[in-house]
Amino acid sequence: MSTSSNHIPKTQEELKAEWELIQQAQQQPRAFGPLYRRYHEPIFRFIYKRTGDESLSADLCSQVFLKAMQNLGSYEFRGLAFGAWLYRLASNEIAQFFRKNRRHRVVHIEEQQLQLLQDEMEIEDKIGLEFRYKQMQEIIEQLKAEEVQILELRFFESRPFKEVGEILDITENNAKVKVYRLLQKMKKMLKKLA
């Protein structure tokens, strides 16, 4: 087990140790520090990937941790890292911001993520990557905010279905179904563009 404060727990032993930290923080707010240090950077990056604005991301990240501290007493351990709950709070803050300000979401797609998505959609790359990238950007712009979020969590951040479900407050099986349906929808949209 890593002793780094930025280490995200993955094993049952690490999750149990994190749960003990959370329980301490529920009793004494000063004990929240190690959790904050562990998750601040990943949560900030998560938000920044969706806003593309460093200052806005810092503000939203602050809101996430403020709400986390305010609601820590109601947090329940569900066998996942504490981060899954924080990502859900961050997702809600992002969605609320975009609803309130009617701004467009930013979606960053890297080449390897595009390749992974193509592989998942079982698309042969017969055309250039640059052209495919433009097609995928067009398709993503047409998706609903919830669909984009599923895409980001599963493919751009490589989160397991269980964690995707926890962040979206749905079951793991429901997350799998939503991903499958989304891929089918995107395949159809891609065929129309071809």
- The pLDDT profile of the chain, 194 residues, written as one tens digit per residue, is 333 445 677 788 988 999 999 999 999 989 999 999 999 999 999 898 888 889 999 999 999 999 999 999 999 888 888 998 999 999 889 888 887 876 656 666 666 666 666 677 766 655 565 666 778 878 888 888 788 888 888 887 888 898 898 888 899 999 999 999 999 998 888 888 76
- Number of structural domains in the chain: 2
Domain boundary among 55, 72, 101: 101
In a domain, 106, yes or no: no
Domain boundary among 81, 101, 121: 101
Residues 6+ apart with CB under 8 A from 50: 94, 105, 106, 107, 152
In a domain, 2, yes or no: no
Q: Is the pTM of this model over 0.85?
A: no
Do 45 and 96 share a domain, yes or no? yes
Do 20 and 52 share a domain, yes or no? yes
Residues 6+ apart with CB under 8 A from 127: none
In a domain, 4, yes or no: no
Residue among 94, 72, 73, 99 at smallest CA distance from 168? 94
Do 33 and 90 share a domain, yes or no? yes
Domain boundary among 101, 136, 157: 101
Structural domain including 58 reads 12-101
CA gap 177, 101 in Å, rounded: 31
